[in-house]
Structure 1
């Protein structure tokens, strides 16, 4: 670790904040150190202290921002832009969890202002499996793209490891699997296929005040038609998903977050020989995301999701859950 290591402050001591702490703590070859962490919940900070006793717990958000070079905002969605603006006003770069905001108009204003130096944490930007799929596409494995199919399913929502955050993850205002999961695959579509447009679809909200239980949508990524389906209760798995791009001469897909596969002549999908299970692939991607955060803060080229890309994804997501 060098003396000029990026000083990363973390707002939010939930699942994502803890994951980021774990990745930074485990790395010795990237110039990042944790300046501290803050959460409005003392209980959450106490939990973090049990696992990471050496990490400084800040008194408030302003103290956290003052101690940081870059601020990672891992709080619930409704607070993202407020913290981003405070950090930016103090001259800090920001790394936000998605979505940009709960209020779409607020997200549009934030992006249009163009004041903040920052990016959004869509880990597919750094995924080893996505890199493999992009290489296959570039090598001509599918020919010209013809159709894209996104399918997600969950045994329950929220997923078991998210139950502590169920109050907002299963609420209609901030939560739901479309915002939490489908957004990642829309970002992947935007990044590998083309701009998102021409949304048609609907979401099913059978329980008052709770998040959606099913979605069905069509849109276009550039000129490629995209078909999206999702449901709670459609699988025994906690989380099952596929992103399948079909072309004139083949197909590739991303399965269960981290498994790159391509269609072989026998009609079966073959898994990439270097595929990693998601728990391992996630750590690789987050480590690469941190490298991107360092580059972004230094003003160097990086592959992180831009605010513009994140807004385009949010436009589709909010357009779908509003139907």
Structure 2
């Protein structure tokens, strides 16, 4: 914030430099940042001219560059968003930190533990904010479910079972389904249990993989991930007093069933139907605003910018990204 600014950026506004103009930038980050108060995308870097042009159309005040090095030369950039494939994260993030910038990294933190350690060292030495994009921590339904778990609605949490699959073709640059998708669930396991993965293994199937693990409190957890399998995102949290089912692709996707009851029991079905009817106005408002996932991305950026201004810490940070990556890479080795 103490660098000399070029004309055009309002005083007190944080300048965002976006590195990478792929789908996550175009679909999520740039639309959200366009509506973010107190921030402006001032530069975007991508070597692909077509992708860069599409991104600049969403941020008309931004300067286009072919490399992250050119972007870092722009004095208006306060925060660098690294939205590139994970194999390039360390090079870009370390350069940004050494240039005095704050950094946001899309998950996973990196593609290897050596790269993750290098990012963590650079973050410690730079004393800048480093946030990792585990956006589902800020999803409305995850927040509601976490409140229920902490209030004892499930009793003792015994197991978490998840599914996260996409309808598109796999992009090998993303590091595979475990790094790209399962990393979200490892972060959610840590959030819901408050403990770390103590053992894990992975099994690969036809265009999918299953990651299974044991948490420090004994909770058994697993997630099935893959591409070209249809879009699904579900978690089931099982406790000795009840079960929470989360469908993160639905507005009314949280369902709590007490132990001893069945999801199809008439009273529960009636309660579910009435709740859906009452939520219709809010569902319409949410849809018009882009949905719960868009709201989660917006909250993520609000919290990151608040941390940059010194108002409060940001989580998940580099250490959270490191622990999630470590669990996945160890599982891949264990097989």
TM-score w.r.t. the length of structure 2 is 0.80
* SS of aligned partner of 1:115: helix
Does the CA-based 8 Å contact 1:189-1:221 persist in structure 2?
A: no
46, 53, 59: which one pairs with 1:39?
46
* SS of aligned partner of 2:94: helix
| Aligned-partner Cα distance in 2 for 1:185–1:228 | 7
Matched, 1:260 2:272: no
Question: Which runs of structure 2 are paired with 1:243-258 in the superposition (5 Å)?
Answer: 243-257=235-249
Does the CA-based 8 Å contact 1:202-1:320 persist in structure 2?
A: yes
CA distances 1:183-241 after superposition (whole Å, capped 9, x unpaired): 111111112212332323233266xxxxx6322423225332223334567x5xx2213
Does the CA-based 8 Å contact 2:210-2:222 persist in structure 1?
A: no
| Aligned-partner Cα distance in 1 for 2:197–2:150 | 23
| Aligned-partner Cα distance in 1 for 2:41–2:167 | 36
* SS of aligned partner of 1:187: helix
Of 135-144 and 310-319, more deviation after overlay is shown by: 135-144
* SS of aligned partner of 1:143: coil
Matched, 1:75 2:101: no
Residue 145 of structure 1 and its aligned partner are, at CA, apart by: 1.4
Number of the residue aligned with 2:94: 85
Residues 287, 229 of structure 1: alpha-carbon distance in 2 compared, 3 angstrom cutoff: closer
Does the CA-based 8 Å contact 1:148-1:246 persist in structure 2?
A: yes
Report which of the two structures shows the higher radius of gyration computed on alpha carbons: 2
Residue 155 of structure 1 and its aligned partner are, at CA, apart by: 5.3
- The count of residues paired between Structure 1 and Structure 2 equals 301
Residue 112 of structure 1 and its aligned partner are, at CA, apart by: 4.3
Matched, 1:168 2:173: yes
135, 138, 142: which one pairs with 1:126?
138
* SS of aligned partner of 2:29: helix
Number of the residue aligned with 2:63: 56
Number of the residue aligned with 1:185: 185
Matched, 1:3 2:11: yes
| Aligned-partner Cα distance in 1 for 2:86–2:226 | 22
| Aligned-partner Cα distance in 1 for 2:136–2:143 | 9
Residues 266, 248 of structure 1: alpha-carbon distance in 2 compared, 3 angstrom cutoff: closer
Residue 318 of structure 1 and its aligned partner are, at CA, apart by: 1.5
Residue 72 of structure 1 and its aligned partner are, at CA, apart by: 0.5
17, 22, 29: which one pairs with 1:14?
22
Residue 69 of structure 1 and its aligned partner are, at CA, apart by: 0.5
Does the CA-based 8 Å contact 1:38-1:60 persist in structure 2?
A: yes
Structure 2 unaligned segments of length 5 or more: list them. Answer: 1-8
CA distances 1:38-92 after superposition (whole Å, capped 9, x unpaired): 1122221123234544432135323322331110000111111111111111111
| Aligned-partner Cα distance in 1 for 2:58–2:165 | 32
80, 96, 101: which one pairs with 2:105?
96
Residues 10, 156 of structure 1: alpha-carbon distance in 2 compared, 3 angstrom cutoff: closer
* SS of aligned partner of 2:65: coil
* SS of aligned partner of 2:62: coil
Number of the residue aligned with 2:295: 284
* SS of aligned partner of 1:94: strand
| Aligned-partner Cα distance in 1 for 2:331–2:312 | 33
| Aligned-partner Cα distance in 2 for 1:283–1:156 | 20
| Aligned-partner Cα distance in 2 for 1:202–1:62 | 37
| Aligned-partner Cα distance in 2 for 1:15–1:285 | 17
